[in-house]
Structure 1
Amino acid sequence: MKTLDRYILKQLVVNFVFGIGLFLSILTASDLIYRLTSLWLKSGLSLVRVVQIFLWNIPSFLVYIIPMAVLLGSILTTSRLSSDSEVIALRASGVSYFRFTIPFLIFSIWACSVTILVQEVFVPMSSEKLMQLTEGTSLTGLLFQENTFFREEAGEGVERIFYVRQVDSRKGVLIGVTVQEYGKEGILRIINAQEATNQEGKWVFRKGILYEMGPGGEVRRIVRFEKEEIAAQQGLRETLQQQKNPREMSLAQ
């Protein structure tokens, strides 16, 4: 690696680290730290546990922060080099613009690889760890908020996929629910409901529409209902522990 590359990369790394700290402070202070502090003071949760929850939340933030920090680092680096007339000096020395951008490309590829690693490995891992740390506490609501989904095996080769727009974990209510039920021959039925609860081993859907599907995927019957019940394989608590937000999943999932 030439002296020019090392020099530019050194500037990039310094500004990148600054960007990571800046964006992490902004994103966490705006909501997460406030809620954790509030819960710590009100619920008597130990400081060690609060710190653990905060640290395990960082990977999900890094997926968004790293690209922003790369952009900020690149802007700050080129601005400083330009203001000190170093870009002009490089051009006068015969360094082309393409040659000048090579360190930026190398650093961007590295940052992209790190982002993929965090998304594929550390985000799912941190999600599971957070679930363990918050189980049985009011902190569960920090994890289960909106746009989540989970699967349920209904027996006899039937599988259900739930998409939930919002979860009210305190009341035990799923809001804006879509359920797709699949059998061996394809989709069997679709249920759209304003809300759903899990009561006495049953899913109870309220104010929705049920679509019964034919073998070819066509709609055979449409039923509007005020209340519809189907058998549930597990309780709401166990079900919520399986739900995932898209940003918590790996590409394979």
Structure 2
Amino acid sequence: MKLVKYLFKRFFPVFFGALGFFSLVLVLVDLLMNLWKYIQNEAPALQVAYLMALYVPKTLWYAVPLGILFAVSYTLSDLYANNELTALFASGVSLLRFTMPLLIFSVLMSFALFFFEDKVVVPTFAKKTQLQNTLLQESKSLNNDSVVVLSNSGFLVYKAQVYDDSQKRLYDLYLVFRNTDKSLQAVIHSDIALWNSKEKRWNLQNAMQYTYRDNTLFLEDVQEDLLALLTEPPETFRNNSVSVEEVNTNDAKIYIEHLKRVGLPYNEELSVYYKKFAFPCIVF
């Protein structure tokens, strides 16, 4: 027990010092990268300082693995340089036994880092991003173009040239209906689709339906039963505005499942989601 206390007495000052140093470096890097933007937009100094404070938990999250690596290396090398390890080995204590408390501490820190990121880093980083966009007068448009969405478990495909979020409209819309075996059933084209908030469905203008039978497309009147299937909410067609890095693991999982369901790209979001679990393991 005395060896454990002595080891941690040498380890913790270096660890907390390294943690503070690396965190400070990351904060300064972020500040200097955006400093000219703050000056250009005349951002108040107190708001910028608050912005940096919100970024501290994120920098600590990044700095913990570096801090542990540096602290362990420095502590053990310092003990070796002072011949303390030699005396330790001569007394019959192995290197594994001596460093086991550090290994256990690293495992505990891995779990702690995961919950710290999920409960503290995510909300503060989301606030930081929101405040930074406000100070820099940056906003992301929810309008989208070249939209392709799978709906009804893949039996209905929306393909629109443009989605206008302010008016809840889809322009130059193609609707591809498929049978249970995923073969083509019908195609409906509409110049404009308007979202009906009362009926919770899309209303089509200048719609034309092409039905596929006997390897031939027939122009027919639009079937009402097919129009009743157009219930995909407008939020699905928006330009992706959810950052997996700014939500907790539960919300990130729900969002990725939504992307899979509607047929939108999700590989980048999935990699960030896996990073939430993989990064804390770097500590050990």
1:87 is aligned to 2:54: no
Higher helix share: 2
Q: In the alignment, residue 69 of structure 1 is paired with which amino acid?
A: G
For 1:214 and 1:175, the matched residues in 2 are separated by: 25
Query: Contact conserved, 1:23 with 1:69, CA < 8 A, in 2?
Result: yes
Query: Contact conserved, 2:150 with 2:157, CA < 8 A, in 1?
Result: yes
Alignment coverage as a number of residue pairs = 210
CA shift, 1:122, in A, is 0.8
Moved over 6 A (4+): 173-178, 190-197, 227-230
Q: In the alignment, residue 108 of structure 1 is paired with which amino acid?
A: S
> Aligned Cα RMSD in Å?
4.0
Query: Contact conserved, 1:211 with 1:219, CA < 8 A, in 2?
Result: no
- Structure 2 equivalent of residue 125 of structure 1: 123
Query: Contact conserved, 1:53 with 1:133, CA < 8 A, in 2?
Result: yes
Query: Contact conserved, 1:9 with 1:107, CA < 8 A, in 2?
Result: no
Q: TM-score, normalised by structure 1?
A: 0.64
For 1:72 and 1:211, the matched residues in 2 are separated by: 58
Percent identity, aligned pairs only, is: 20
CA shift, 1:217, in A, is 8.3
For 2:245 and 2:113, the matched residues in 1 are separated by: 12
Q: For 1:101-116, what aligned pairs fall within 5 Å after superposition?
A: 101-116=99-114
For 2:78 and 2:147, the matched residues in 1 are separated by: 52
Partner of residue 74 from structure 2, selected from 35, 54, 76 = 76
CA shift, 1:36, in A, is 4.2
For 2:161 and 2:90, the matched residues in 1 are separated by: 67
- Structure 1 equivalent of residue 220 of structure 2: none
- Structure 1 equivalent of residue 39 of structure 2: 41
Structure 2: which 5+ runs fail to align?
196-232, 252-284
Counterpart secondary structure, 2:107 = helix
For 2:123 and 2:161, the matched residues in 1 are separated by: 32
Partner of residue 54 from structure 1, selected from 34, 41, 52 = 52
Query: Contact conserved, 2:123 with 2:247, CA < 8 A, in 1?
Result: no
Work out which of the two has the higher radius of gyration on C-alpha atoms and give 1 or 2.
2
For 1:90 and 1:176, the matched residues in 2 are separated by: 68
Query: Contact conserved, 1:63 with 1:115, CA < 8 A, in 2?
Result: yes
Query: Contact conserved, 2:23 with 2:59, CA < 8 A, in 1?
Result: yes
For 1:243 and 1:124, the matched residues in 2 are separated by: 16
Structure 1: which 5+ runs fail to align?
142-168
Q: Deviations over 1:137-167 (max 9, x none)?
A: 42546xxxxxxxxxxxxxxxxxxxxxxxxxx
CA separation of 1:180 and 1:66: change in aligned 2, threshold 3 A? farther
Q: TM-score, normalised by structure 2?
A: 0.58
For 2:48 and 2:145, the matched residues in 1 are separated by: 31
Higher strand share: 1
CA separation of 1:230 and 1:27: change in aligned 2, threshold 3 A? farther
Q: Deviations over 1:22-42 (max 9, x none)?
A: 322333333x10244323322
- Structure 1 equivalent of residue 26 of structure 2: 27
For 1:247 and 1:220, the matched residues in 2 are separated by: 39
- Structure 2 equivalent of residue 8 of structure 1: 7
Moved more, 49-58 or 35-44: 35-44
CA separation of 1:176 and 1:77: change in aligned 2, threshold 3 A? farther
For 2:6 and 2:89, the matched residues in 1 are separated by: 16
Query: Contact conserved, 2:125 with 2:246, CA < 8 A, in 1?
Result: yes
- Structure 1 equivalent of residue 167 of structure 2: 200
CA separation of 1:42 and 1:96: change in aligned 2, threshold 3 A? same
